[in-house]
Amino acid sequence: GFSLHAATRLEATDRRRLQRLCRYVIRPPIANGRLRFVDEQTLVFSLKTAWTDVTCQLLLSPQELLEKLAALVPPPRLNLVRYHGVLAPACPDRAQIVPGPSALTQTEGCEHGAAGGRRAHRVS
């Protein structure tokens, strides 16, 4: 998985950090050294750490590997960040902790022309 905060910023001249960020974003879901073909229909996936039953490798068909990878992809528009305590949406004390919308956002409205400042979502 990955964890990249949306507010991650880089200076235009900071090539070292840009290269590091690009390497992080484009890395594959599985390290090449941990996956190898036995034959055309069998893959061996080496686990990073052994399971409690001492399993250290999995034998998979290419179809099974794709099924397992696809199961890790979250559905569209699913919020993966969960808030608990006073940051939870239904907490009665939330208004005391989380600031309300600023006056600037209340007066300007939407720049993109959507009615009522709402964003249109595509239903698939």
The predicted model scores a pTM of 0.51
Question: Residue 49 pLDDT > 90, yes or no?
Answer: yes
Question: Residue 48 pLDDT > 60, yes or no?
Answer: yes
* Cα–Cα distance, 92 to 74 (Å, whole number): 30
pLDDT tens column, 59-74: 999 999 999 989 988 8
Q: pLDDT band for 89, please (50, 70, 90 cuts).
A: confident
Q: pLDDT band for 10, please (50, 70, 90 cuts).
A: confident
- 10-34: burial string, b at 16+ Cβ within 10 Å, e else: eeeeeeeeeeeeeeeeeeeeeeeee
Q: Which residues pair with 36 in a beta bridge?
A: 44
Beta strand 57-60 pairing with 42-46: antiparallel
